[in-house]
């Protein structure tokens, strides 16, 4: 017999939407205010980290990776972190 997974409620999706909006607002604040924008050593890693967090949340919840086999979620998350790490290594090497 196939085990049926319990999907998230509408409330869960609203909470996730609010979290994504807050992260987007923080990104906007960092980019908008010149005091925070002057330091690339601060701005680029923080904005990249926030973007990766949003990407994983959107793919994990809204694309329903959460309900797939656990190994698929781990492969996806590892790939996202590997790509981010590669970006940072290249960024630091070019600075």
Dist CA 87 CA 76 (whole Å): 17
Q: Is residue 32 assigned to a domain?
A: yes
Domain count along the chain: 1
Q: How far is CA 54 from the centre of its chain?
A: 3
pLDDT greater than 80 at residue 20: yes
* pLDDT value of residue 48: 82
More reliable by pLDDT, 8 or 89? 89
Q: Is residue 5 assigned to a domain?
A: no
Q: Is residue 50 assigned to a domain?
A: yes
Q: Is residue 60 assigned to a domain?
A: yes
Q: Is residue 27 assigned to a domain?
A: yes
* pLDDT value of residue 24: 95
Cβ atoms of 61 and 8 closer than 8 Å? yes
pTM of structure: 0.69
Residues 22-75 have pLDDT tens digits of 999 999 988 888 776 667 777 878 888 898 889 888 877 777 666 677 788 788
* pLDDT value of residue 1: 46
For 33, the domain range is 10-94
Q: Is residue 51 assigned to a domain?
A: yes
Q: Is residue 87 assigned to a domain?
A: yes
């Amino acid at each position: 017999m196939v085990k049926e997974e319990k999907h998230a409620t509408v409330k869960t999706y609203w909470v996730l939407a609010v979290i994504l909006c807050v992260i987007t607002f923080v990104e906007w604040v960092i980019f908008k205010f010149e005091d925070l924008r002057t330091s690339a050593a601060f701005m680029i890693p923080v904005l990249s980290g926030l973007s990766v967090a949003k990407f994983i949340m959107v793919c994990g919840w809204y694309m329903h990776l959460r309900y797939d086999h656990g190994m698929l979620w781990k492969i996806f998350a590892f790939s996202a972190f590997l790509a981010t790490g590669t970006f940072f290594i290249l960024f630091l090497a070019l600075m």
